[in-house]
Amino acid sequence: MSTKTNKTAMSEDIAIQEFHSFLSKWIKRPPEMDAIKELYPESIDALQSGNLIINENGVPVYKLIHPIQGENGLSEITFQTRLKVMTKANLLKNVNVEKDLQRASAILQAHMLGLPTMADLDLLHQWDYNACVEIASVFMKGG
């Protein structure tokens, strides 16, 4: 049986506190401390394992558990911290969001993860994808 990680960079309590501080920077009304683990389990696990760091500017940087190999390899994700209204409009200009919500979601996720195309999402291992989408959700409100 495979596990995500065997090392612990920080305790769960410290990870929850750090993630709450991070959320407080980006969300007007962050969830209560006791709800963080339930709402953001992948993020807490990533902080505990050392795969997620919050840099000095409050921007999350995620080190992939399973780096993408090849010519356009990728070992870490630095997240976009804002989805501007016009950026969102341009990204979705040829997408009927009501009829193709999954495509629209994939386009926005790829943008927030700094990936060149939504097809690159398929290259992420499921563990990395789940953690990255959860982290990116903090910034995907737009505006």
Q: How do residues 11-67 score in pLDDT, each as one tens digit?
A: 999 999 999 999 999 999 999 999 999 999 999 999 999 999 999 999 999 999 999
Asked if residue 70 is part of any domain, the answer here is yes
pLDDT at 1 exceeding the cut of 50: no
CB 115 within 8 A of CB 40: no
Asked if residue 4 is part of any domain, the answer here is no
Asked if residue 28 is part of any domain, the answer here is yes
Number of domains in the chain: 1
Whole-model pTM: value is 0.86
Averaged over 82-105, what is the pLDDT?
93
Residue 143: its pLDDT value, please?
47
Asked if residue 2 is part of any domain, the answer here is no
pLDDT at 79 exceeding the cut of 80: yes
Asked if residue 80 is part of any domain, the answer here is yes
- In the chain, the N- to C-terminal Cα span, in Å, equals 43
Q: Which domain holds residue 124?
A: 12-139
Asked if residue 1 is part of any domain, the answer here is no
